């Protein structure tokens, strides 16, 4: 009897041990499945979400503010400054007409005030044309023309540190040309962090300035063109041949008229 109890206890112990092993194995699999199942993709997603690809500040892009290509960081810098610029006004005075060879003055003024009154004071008269434009401390303007001599040439810069208005003057002289066109460009000048400067175009305006050409100038142009044509290559031989042929034709007509009717 005692021996049977011992054997029963041993068998029960083995069964309990096997059950414990099975239980621990199943539990381990469930834990591993939980860690390697839904948890793994969530971990990857979180990692991908937190790791964003920042834009390269040195990437060269087209910058709308500069109307040119520039590094992304530089474009952002200028865009921030541009957004803080105040709106002012610009005014232009142009002669109603100009004769070729004469010299007249074209003036352009800007004001921090959007009204036209300060422009009238700055220009010494009411402007023929007014425009709205951004105003910064440093401004620049340039007058260019087809068929005109413009002085001073190139970009002219002004500093508004000591005032709210400023003015540009150009002396323009129409030359002999097939066409005449006068264009005014206004810029705001922005200083970069490294001290360099960049001009950003604000406005481009074509100025109406009719040019008068006298009859004397037209005749002189014709004579100059004829002389230039004659002195170019063998054109003088062509002109001489044409002249001799015309002279021979006139002589033949004259002789025909002089002959008696019976001949």
From the list 203, 65, 207, the residue with the least C-alpha distance to 139 is 203
Q: What is the pLDDT of residue 247?
A: 62
| 79, HSE (Cβ side, Cα atoms, 13 Å) | 12
Give residue 86's pLDDT: 87
pLDDT of residue 234: 61
Tell me what pLDDT residue 85 has.
Answer: 85
* Torsion angle (degrees, nearest 10) of CA 225, 226, 232, 237: 170
Give pTM, 2 decimals: 0.61
Query: Measured between alpha carbons, how far is residue 229 from residues 21, 134, 214, 225 in Å?
Result: 115, 52, 23, 6
Residues of the chain with pLDDT under 50: 21-22, 27-52, 236
- Tens-place pLDDT, residues 5-30: 555 555 555 665 555 544 555 544 44
Q: Is the Cβ–Cβ distance between 140 and 187 less than 8 Å?
A: yes
**Domain 61-212 classification at class level:** mainly beta
Domain boundaries, the chain: 61-212
Distances from the Cα of 263 to the Cα of 7, 257, 258, 259, 260, angstroms: 171, 11, 11, 7, 6
pLDDT for position 237? 52
Give the CA distances from residue 69 to residues 56, 58, 63, in Å, rounded to whole numbers and listed in that order.
15, 12, 6
CA dist 208 and 133 (Å) reads 20
Residue 50 pLDDT: 35
Reported as a single tens digit per residue, the pLDDT across 158-177 is 998 878 899 999 999 999 88
User: To which residue do tokens 């990437």 refer?
Assistant: 59
Q: Which pLDDT score, from 0 to 100, does residue 195 have?
A: 72
């Amino acid at each position: 009897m005692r021996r049977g109890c011992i054997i029963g206890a041993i068998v029960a112990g083995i069964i309990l041990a096997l059950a414990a092993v099975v239980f621990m194995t199943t539990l381990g699999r469930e834990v591993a499945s939980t860690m390697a199942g839904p948890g793994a993709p969530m971990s990857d997603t979180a990692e991908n979400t937190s790791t964003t690809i920042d834009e390269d500040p040195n990437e060269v892009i087209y910058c709308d503010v500069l109307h040119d290509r520039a590094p992304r960081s530089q474009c952002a810098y200028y865009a921030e400054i541009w957004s803080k610029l105040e709106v002012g006004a610009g005014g232009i005075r142009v002669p109603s007409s100009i004769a070729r060879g004469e010299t007249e003055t074209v003036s352009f003024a800007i004001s921090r005030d959007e009204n036209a009154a300060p422009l009238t004071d700055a220009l010494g008269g009411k402007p023929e044309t007014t425009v709205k434009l951004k105003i910064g401390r440093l401004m620049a303007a340039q007058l260019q023309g087809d068929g005109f001599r413009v002085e001073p040439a190139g970009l002219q810069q002004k500093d508004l540190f000591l005032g709210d208005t400023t003015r540009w003057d150009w002396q323009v002289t129409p030359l002999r040309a097939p066409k005449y066109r006068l264009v005014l460009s206004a810029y705001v000048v922005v200083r970069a962090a490294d001290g360099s400067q960049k001009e950003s175009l604000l406005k481009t305006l074509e100025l109406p300035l009719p040019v008068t050409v006298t009859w004397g100038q037209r005749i002189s142009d014709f004579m100059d063109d004829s002389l230039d044509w004659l002195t170019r290559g063998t054109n003088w031989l062509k002109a001489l041949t044409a002249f001799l042929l015309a002279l021979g034709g006139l002589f033949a007509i004259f002789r025909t008229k002089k002959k008696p009717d019976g001949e």
